[in-house]
């Protein structure tokens, strides 16, 4: 498995885990104590930060590179006028 594919697989697993945490939190009843909610929130924020850090690390820095990666953007449209 290529490094890119491995990173994509890890990212999907992390996003799935975050969604599962949200589902768990939403399914808890009114009898659930605040410590449990805080624990879930803390874990969720930790994983969301990892996802944000990953996205920042792989985000294109050059506007031209963004055009190549994302397709048509405002930059490309302005150049065609």
What is the per-residue pLDDT across 5-28, written as a single tens digit (0 to 9) for each?
888 888 888 899 999 999 998 898
Per-position b or e across 5-39, b if 16+ CB within 10 A of its CB: eeeeeeeeeeeeebeebeeebeeeeeeeeeeeeee
Residue ranges for the chain with pLDDT beneath 70? 59-81
Helix axes 3-27, 34-58, angle to 10 degrees: 160
| Residue 40 near residue 21, CB atoms below 8 Å | yes
């Amino acid at each position: 498995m290529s490094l890119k594919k491995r990173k994509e697989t890890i990212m999907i697993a992390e996003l799935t885990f975050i969604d599962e945490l949200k589902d768990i939190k939403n399914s808890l009843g009114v009898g659930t104590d605040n410590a449990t909610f805080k624990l879930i929130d803390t874990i969720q924020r930790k994983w969301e930060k990892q996802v944000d850090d990953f996205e920042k690390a792989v985000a294109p820095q050059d506007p031209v590179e963004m055009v190549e990666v994302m397709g048509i953007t405002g930059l490309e449209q302005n150049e065609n006028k």
